[in-house]
Amino acid sequence: MVRNESEKEVCLFSQEQLDSIEAGYNDWFNNVLKDADRQEELAGRYNTHSGIPVKLLYTPADVAKVDYAKDIGFPGCEPYIRGVYPNMYRGRPFTVRQLAGLGAPEDCNLRIKYLLKHGATGINILFDLPTIRGYNSDDPEAEGNVGHCGASVDSIWDVDAYFKDIDMGAISTSVVTHLPSTSIVIPGMYFAVAEQRGVSKDKIAGTCQNDFIMETCVGSGPEILPPPVSFRLQCDVVEFICQNYPRWNPISYNGYNLREAGTNAVQEVAIAIANAIATAEELVRRGLNVDRFAPRMSFFWDLHNDFFEEIAKCRASRKVWYKIMKERFGAKSAKSMLMRFHIQTAGVTLTATEPLNNVARSALQGLAAVFGGCQSLHIDSFDEAYSAPTEEAALVSLRTQQIIQAETGAINTVDPLAGSYYLEYLTEEMVKRIFEYIRVIEDLGGLVKAVENGWLHREIANYNLEYQKKIETGETKVVGVNYHRAEHAAAKEIEVFEYPETFSRQKAKLDRLRKERSPQKVDECMKVLRDKCHSDENLYPYTMEAVKNLVTLGEIEELFREEFGLWTFPLIS
Amino acid sequence: MGRPIKVVIAKLGLDIHWRGVYLVSQFLRDSGMDVVYVGNKFPEQIVEAAMQEDADIVGLSTLGGNHLTLGLKTVKLLRDAKMDDVKVFMGGVIPPKHVPELLDGGVHKVYGPDTPMQTIIESVKDAVAV
């Protein structure tokens, strides 16, 4: 749908209709509404989660200025509010992408096969904390965390074991590497294994997370690289992968974990997009054309409790991205302007009290994600507040997705809630507020600066304090916890997934690896990488060469810490 | 009590989730306690901080599954260092079936998700009053 900007605005309703609607509204408000209800409305006590005032009633007058064709449009067309593809889920149902990661890679291999057998169409692979933070399983820092909350990956051998007997050319894999410093290593292991198995580069499909906000703000850790370094590595990953692996999304701007760490819906989207803007500026500076990399940038949103605000957020985020790519970066390709995103339901909303209630919470959030037009979805498991998901809980999540897809009819028509006066009002309001918050960040000197000086950490801490106070006072209701409080909670005994042998198995593998690899080759790779850290060159080719020669994740990360130095996380007192 | 209750709070090992631990630190501080949040630390470092700060209470936060390993190790190192009267609190995502083992190992209290802040504040005050 190509539009001419000079066309005059065509509003949904004529002035005559609007006048009559306004008169009708005033009559209703003053004469139909009871006095007490009118007073309550005037007190303005209702807000969305992010603080947008919510009226008792929305009418066409609230969307009077909306020009349908220009402001909302058609799916697969500018400004993409209604979705990124013309026929949306009829043509391409959202990918049912559940997480799989626990214990050693060999254990995860079984879980992946289990999920694929039950109809999952994509795989998210998760790592344990040592892997996430870049330590080998036998490093002293890894003690007590090997194989918990995700799988250990120390070397290319582990990626091979993770995908044993799985056709890496036939699946799409999300490699949840959070940090740029590990995204420059672990996906490289994945590419190398796939290529060793004869999968051509154009068949390797997936996503890695690669977000410097995760490295320096959302997650804390004992040893953290400075924000400008992490940002550089983030850009190295995007640049290298765009030039070599056409079906791999080299970055997933992680609004999700920002939200879980403590932001509202506006901040979540604005911060993630501010990072995308910073990346785009850097890659353009490096000489890349925006249409070369923008189509491969993807986003990751949280789906929290406020049903309509969350749907509005998803729709608004597409419009914001479209405008930025088109107007600010001058993108020519429509693919550059499409915001594609994965959604995970909000783990932070799940309770330990009466855990089965979480099935209901997650199902509603999952439905909202589909109304928001997500490209892939993970629904959290009901045992989230106890441990990483058990097989039973993982299956309930998978089934919830399939119920939404196959039984509710929600995917049969595109963007079915469009046209709701409330939703369209909220969507425009979110667009406005997201742009305003991006502006705040840019006025601070950009996102890297806002992280370096601790501003973003303080924003998160402030949000959390306010949110927690509302829970403590009962202003924010949590069913079973501070509202209709469960007297005899934790009725369900939750099994905990455990693989106690992970450490010894990983250690034995590392011992064998160190014996079998060539020390000369390892030294050579490490020396080159060390030198290149201080050049302007992209580091990816050098980390990839290293992992092919059996250099471990922990060794590369240690090298980064030595060469780049460490940064002190703000908020420590 | 002549001085405010002194609390040293740490994020245990590599666990990345700082939302809860920072909130608890803020609420305890707002209730009048002297709180030192030391960030991500390993057991040896936590014991050292507790010693330097002359802590009454050590708070350990983990959502990363290292409660039985690093959590219990911290308690043991405190006892080895003769800091017997320092009470250890733990919070985070801790499976209920692991709680008895933590309590047997010398952890004073374990608080999971959904715990009201007031409960934690009262519990810390009670632990020091005993």
pLDDT by residue (tens digit) across A467-490? 999 999 999 999 999 999 877 655
b/e per residue, A296-328, with b = 16+ CB within 10 A?
Answer: bbbbbbbbbbbbbbbbbbbbbbbbbbbbbbbee
* CA A371 distance to own-chain centroid: 17
d(CA A419, CA A71): 12
Domain-located, residue B76: yes
Please tell me which residue, A114 or A283, carries the higher pLDDT value. A283
B13–A144 CB contact, under 8 Å: yes
CA distance A260 to chain B (A): 8
Axis crossing angle, helix A540-548 with helix A227-244, rounded to the nearest 10: 80
Domain-located, residue B67: yes
Length of chain A (residues): 573
pLDDT tens-digit map of A43-87: 999 999 999 999 999 999 999 989 999 999 999 999 999 999 999
Domain-located, residue B102: yes
Interface membership of A573 toward B (CB under 8 Å): yes
B80: containing domain: 6-129
Banded model confidence at residue A493, pLDDT cuts 50, 70, 90: low
B16–A387 CB contact, under 8 Å: no
Structure tokens at A91: 């043509």
d(CA A46, CA B3): 43
Banded model confidence at residue A513, pLDDT cuts 50, 70, 90: very high
A135–B14 CB contact, under 8 Å: yes
b/e per residue, A167-183, with b = 16+ CB within 10 A?
Answer: ebeebbbbbbbbbbbbb
Interface membership of A472 toward B (CB under 8 Å): yes
Measured from the Cβ of residue A452, the count of other Cβ atoms closer than 10 Å reads 19
Asked if pLDDT for residue A136 goes beyond 90, the answer is: yes
b/e per residue, A454-466, with b = 16+ CB within 10 A?
Answer: ebbbebbbebbbe
Interface membership of A387 toward B (CB under 8 Å): yes
- Specify the pLDDT at position B65: 85
Residue of A nearest to B40 (CA): A222
CB contacts of A218 in chain B (<8 Å) are 16
The total domain count for chain B is 1
Banded model confidence at residue A1, pLDDT cuts 50, 70, 90: very low
The CATH number of the domain where B15 resides is what? 3.40.50.280
SS3 A132: helix
Domain-located, residue B59: yes
Domain-located, residue B1: no
Please tell me which residue, B107 or A12, carries the higher pLDDT value. B107
- Specify the pLDDT at position A491: 46
Interface membership of A393 toward B (CB under 8 Å): no
Q: How many cross-chain Cβ pairs, A to B, lie less than 8 Å apart?
A: 122
- Specify the pLDDT at position A99: 64
Domain-located, residue B66: yes
Measured from the Cβ of residue A247, the count of other Cβ atoms closer than 10 Å reads 13
B64–A482 CB contact, under 8 Å: no
Mean pLDDT of the region A434-461: 97
- Specify the pLDDT at position A28: 98
Asked if pLDDT for residue A499 goes beyond 80, the answer is: no
Domain-located, residue B123: yes
**DSSP state at residue B4:** P
* CA A268 distance to own-chain centroid: 10
Mutate which of B18, B23, B67 to disrupt the A interface (most A C-beta within 10 Å)? B18
**DSSP per residue over B32-77, as a string?**
T-EEEEEEEE-HHHHHHHHHHHT-SEEEEEESSS-IIIIIHHHHHH
- Specify the pLDDT at position B111: 96
Structure tokens at B18: 């700082």
A468–B117 CB contact, under 8 Å: yes
All structural domains of chain A, each given as residue ranges with its CATH number in brackets, are 72-473 (3.20.20.240)
CA distance A222 to chain B (A): 5
Domain-located, residue B25: yes
CB A231 within 8 A of CB A179: no
Mean pLDDT of the region A114-123: 80
